Amino acid sequence: MSSSINHDESQSLLSSPPPPQTQQEDDDQEFDLHPIEKIKKRSSGTISTIFSIVNTMVGSTILSLAWGFTQSGLYLGIIVFILVGFISYYTCNLVVKHSLFKVRYDASSEESNTNTESINSESPNYNSIGGESKTQSFKIGKVSYTKKTKRQIKSIFDIKDFSQVCVEHLGKWSEILCILTSIVILVGASIAYHIFMKDCLVSIIDGIANIEYDQSVIYPWENNGPPWYWNGIFASLIIVVVLYPITLFKNLNFLVKFNSFGIFFVLFLLVFIIYASIEALVSPFEMSANVASVSSLTISALGLFGSNSATPPASSSQDSYNIADDVIRKGDEVLVNHLKLFDIHFSHLLAILSLSFFIHNVIGPILKNQKSLKHTQRDTGVAFIVAGMIYAVPGILGAFAFRFASIDQNFLNQFSSKSIYANISRGAVLFQLMSIYPLLLSVIRVQFFSFVYRNNPNKEKQQYPGIIQVGALNFFVCLITTAMAAFYPMVGTVLRFTGAICGLIYMYLLPVSIHLVVQYKKKQLTILSVLFHVVLVLFGLSILVLQFIDFDQFTQKGN
């Protein structure tokens, strides 16, 4: 999940909520009168909207998907990938469907400005829904005239904030749940970004200064650990010292503009992953860190590593390598396939993908700037397909290409700190995340204080109550992210728990509950609909529950 959210987008085009429903041609829609100036603010076309959705959806999980596929197995991972993608798209459409409503506005001003006698011409974005008479007064010289003209009322679709929709259909408690869940998601994303930034910074400095140590060791006081003057703890502190003052800024528009180029960083990262994956397929021994000696391998050892081969490779002076082999050898070196077709840890990938395809909380502000909201289902579907293709590259290709290695939760950690291309990619990721991290804390600040000071009519007070309050909140969040990055840098674990929590609430429970309530109010609720949507909620709940189950204990007991 990327968090490149423009705060201007989050402001509704409507200055006030729509009034109670009135009887019109579409009896299930809401209407209100609004000036044409607000309607004309929309400027985004279809391509721009799709680009914005993809840019917001594709985020940090792209670096953990390869690890996720190794946890689920290749075939099962592809099934899970498609399943979660379709479910996410369906529930996202539920959010959009129940957030849409019609706005009436007076188009008579168009008539007077263009000096036309009639404005009944059809427009692709506006629908005429009736009119009424009105009187205009004007003066030429000393003579006053009155002119009776027909008042032309048109309508256009607008979209509400999802939290407002929750309050209307589910009650006040759902708004509180939305806010709490959103803050949890943002804090989880902040932790993941801090870990990624720390890993990138450590590897870059290691490569420049030629520092060598056991990368699996975190603390400098352990054997073969990093030196005391440069390690992950020190890097985590440096990052927060640099970024914390920026989080106190009231206006972060300069970071929003920089973050709009985030898709180019993603494309650069994809090119590097494709290049590295092809290199790993061609030269697996050079790209793998898991090299063993033939003399140390036995048939039982091969079985423990998950190989399907019944016997070890025969000793030969010729190198043997086939892309479909489970065990390959080169001289006295042997590599074993770590990627299964089906694996019991598939719940890890389920949770990560729930966060990868999560766009539900910001889909409204993105669509709000679109010129026409008639094709939201199509545009959202195209965006999900594009995002899915982007995710498939590091996920499926990365897991398969590096199947002879033990893939790290941060895919960039697969590459040596001395690799120039890897360090360029790390630098791109580092600078991109350094621009997003303050924005995440800014959104947390706005949501938290808007709720705390919700009864205060001063909107500026709601979003920025003061440097002391903002500094205290940001310090608390930075303390959490720094501690996790320094002492528990398991980014895959952070992402899967965050994805499981946000998926259950924002992707399954709230959209499904609103949909069932609306169907009940319209007397369209059926047993089949109830069963289907209850299964969806139970599916989301099972993803969260499975994160707390250690399947390794069961497999060890079975053996």
More confident call, 506 vs 373: 506
CB of 124 closer than 8 Å to CB of 370? no
Examine residue 332 and state whether it is found in any structural domain, yes or no.
yes
Residue 98 CA, distance from chain mean position: 21
Together in a domain, 318 and 191: no
Q: How confident is the model at residue 26 (pLDDT cuts 50, 70, 90)?
A: very low
**Strand arrangement of the beta sheet that strand 292-293 belongs to:** 292-293, 333-336, 327-330
Do 256 and 317 belong together in one domain? Answer: no
Residues 208 and 264 in one domain: yes
Are residues 224 and 303 part of one domain?
A: no
Pairing status of strand 33-34 against strand 100-106: parallel
- 406 domain residue, yes or no: yes
pLDDT of residue 38: 56
Q: Where are the alpha helices (DSSP H) in 21-73?
A: 36-39, 46-57, 65-72
Range of the domain at 304: 291-336
DSSP annotation string for 248-317: T-S--HHHHHHHTTHHHHHHHHHHHHHHHHHHHHH-HHHH-S--EEGGG--HHHHHHTT---SSPPPP-S
For residue 17, name the pLDDT band (cuts at 50, 70, 90): very low
Cα gap 535→83, rounded to integer Å: 14
Contact 104, 34 (CB under 8 A): yes
> Is 391 inside a domain boundary?
yes
Contact 166, 174 (CB under 8 A): yes
Comparing 53-57, 110-114, 137-141, 282-286, the range with the smallest average pLDDT is 110-114
The answer to whether the beta carbons of residues 450 and 463 sit under 8 Å apart is yes
- 3-state DSSP call for residue 231? coil
Mean pLDDT of 405-412: 87
DSSP string for 333-395? EEEE----SS-TTHHHHHHHHHHHT--TTTHHHHHHTBS--TTHHHHHHHHHHHHHHHHHIII
Can you tell me the distance from the alpha carbon of 292 to that of 425, in angstroms, rounded to the nearest whole number?
A: 29
Token output for 303 = 């079985």
* 488 and 464, same domain (yes or no): yes
Degrees, nearest 5: CA angle 490-86-188:
25
Token pair in block for residue 454: 């919700």
In a domain, 236, yes or no: yes
User: Distance between alpha carbon 531 and the CA centroid of its chain, in Å?
Assistant: 28
Burial of 296 (0-12, 13-18, 19+ CB in 10 A): exposed
pLDDT tens string 368-408: 777 777 778 898 999 999 999 999 988 999 898 888 878 88
Domain assignment present for 142:
no
Asked if residue 244 lies in contact with residue 478, where contact means CB atoms within 8 angstroms, the answer is: yes
Structural domain count, the chain: 2
Q: 296 and 266, same structural domain?
A: no
pLDDT at position 507 is: 92
User: With contact defined as beta carbons under 8 Å apart, do 14 and 32 qualify?
Assistant: yes
Is 156 domain-assigned? no
Same domain, 388 and 306: no
Task: Quote the tokens at residue 451.
Answer: 């709720």
Q: What is the pLDDT of residues 319-333, one digit of tens each?
A: 556 555 667 666 666
pLDDT tens-place string over residues 33-67: 444 555 556 566 788 888 888 888 887 789 899 99
- Is 75 found in the same domain as 216? yes
When pLDDT is averaged across residues 161-190 and rounded to a whole number, the result is 88
Look at residue 370 in the predicted model and tell me its pLDDT: 74
Taking a C-beta distance cutoff of 8 angstroms, is the pair 281, 399 a contact?
A: no
- The answer on 268 and 233 residing in a single domain is yes
Residue 115 above 60 pLDDT?
A: no
Is 559 contained in some domain? no
Q: Which of 308, 329, 309, 311 shows the shortest CA–CA distance to 320? A: 329
- C-alpha distances in angstroms, 219 versus 59, 230, 236, 511? 29, 10, 13, 44
| Full-model pTM | 0.76
Beta-carbon neighbour count of residue 522 at 10 Å?
Answer: 10
User: What is the CATH classification number for the domain harbouring 264?
Assistant: 1.20.1740.10
What gap in Å lies between CA 491 and CA 199, rounded to an integer?
10
What is the rounded CA–CA span in Å between residue 141 and residue 328? 97
Smallest Cα–Cα separation from 394: which of 404, 409, 381, 380? 409
More confident residue, 129 or 518: 518
141 lies in some domain: no
From 403, 413, 411, 414, select the one nearest 336 (Cα to Cα): 403
Sequence-separated (6 or more) residues with CB below 8 Å from residue 346: 71, 72, 73, 76, 77, 80
Q: Are residues 328 and 357 in the same domain?
A: no
Shared-domain flag, residues 82 and 224: yes
pLDDT mean across residues, the chain: 77
Q: Are 359 and 481 found together in one domain?
A: yes
- Token pair recorded at residue 363: 């889909």
Residue 414 has pLDDT above 80, yes or no: yes
Of 254, 215, 262, the C-alpha closest to 60 is: 262
Look at 207-216, 337-346, 495-504 and tell me which has the smallest mean pLDDT.
Answer: 207-216
**pLDDT at 340 (0 to 100):** 85
- Of 423, 495, 488, 503, residue with least CA distance to 190: 495
Contacts of 65 (CB under 8 A, 6+ apart): 349, 352, 353, 356, 391, 394, 395, 398, 399, 411
Q: In the predicted model, is pLDDT for residue 298 greater than 60? A: no
